[in-house]
Structure 1
Amino acid sequence: MTETPETITAAVLAIGDEILSGRTRDTNTGYIATFLTNLGIDLKEARTVADDEEAIVEAVNALRSRYTYVFTTGGIGPTHDDITADAMARAFGVGIDHDPRAVAMLKERFPDTELTEGRMRMARIPDGADLIANKLSKAPGFRLGNVHVMAGVPSIMQAMMDEIAPTLRTGVVMLSESIRADAKEGDIAVPLRDVQKAFPEVAIGSYPFSDEKGFNTNVVVRSRDEARLAEAAEAVRVMLAELKR
């Protein structure tokens, strides 16, 4: 019997009133999704919550019990509404205080005279957490259990993901093939469903678009098994060819 490779799963939790109000567009989730896909990690869920401690605690505890990894963005800055670190401490039932390691990182960038009360908030880390280095602004993120807590600023978050990557368990990378249908989505819906039934272990999706020629559809076939991917893609092509006849 062939052993089935372990599936590594993840969730993203974006934290911030500014995202929910529309003032800030969340680009972090898309970046993390692509980053994890390239590591063979399946992003299964993405949530956005306000700067509300109850909401953060509830979401973190739900996601960390369900998935291999959780990645959070936002809410670890110097202002009064940056409450993610406190929420994480509460979610894990641990204390929180200024971490000497984090303080030392801040001192690499700021002289003592500029280490204000606000900036020192970025050195408050839950007890028992590992730090995630931040080569851009020095203020670290941290990891508690399977939860990785990162900044919301995209460039800093991306730098933190680079630091995190070597510590993650990875899976078999998902392969994909995109096929231009040259047909409208509604025209291929029923025969495409039949192809999906024939390849239940392969993910097949249809994505409508329009260009200068009018409405069209891309069919995307995804699988970790290269042979089954090729077979399913060929079945899609045969189906499309039969429709055109």
Structure 2
Amino acid sequence: MGSNALLENKRIVLGVSGGIAAYKVATVCSRLVQAGALVEVVLTEAAQKFITPLTFQALTHRPVYTDLWHIPEGENIPHIALADAADLLLIAPATANTLGKIANGLADNLLTAIALATPAPILLAPAMESDMWHHPATQANVEKLRRWGLTVVGPAAGRLASGAMGLGRMVEPDEIVGMVQVVLARLGDLAGQKVVVTAGGTREPIDPVRFVSNNSSGKMGYALAEVARNRGA
């Protein structure tokens, strides 16, 4: 994935909570970095059971944050600094535990403290067993978060960590990266505007037999549509 105008120099705080899907988030992180984003990674204590800080440090070439109480000398309080600097907070995987904490205003770790403190848009990519996803408590928490304006992508259906088939898989990395772009685009100067772009060759009749046409590929139209999308249309 090459540089992307919508992601370039955007500061994305990537929060990883404790689920087996955490290993797939390394790919999400890599895609965002390749697109030009500045990615700050926050791992919960449970996430570190599945993937190490070193993995993300190698991908981002930046420090990885794990501790709410660790304040390096001469630096600002991490959860406030990260919350204020973020253009977007992405939590993937978002476990039932993390969803419940955010929905109920709990800030007992660095990631949930950032979630409560940030003015930036928040994107959640849930991942859990199917019965946990369908539990009334989880559904109530997700509905509350959506009402508050948080964006939820997934989960998807498929084989889960238990081996069972059901709804609860984290969506694939490319879909998460695509949704990051959608959420960031909502902040653009064309947000809320509808743009119609026509692309490709045209045929204008002269009479029932003859017409005037051109060999347009439509690439300019597609490029204009992409720019409009990236600016929020």
Structure 1-normalised TM-score? 0.35
Q: Could you say which structure has the higher strand fraction?
A: 1
Structure 2-normalised TM-score? 0.37
Query: Highest CA radius of gyration, 1 or 2?
Result: 1
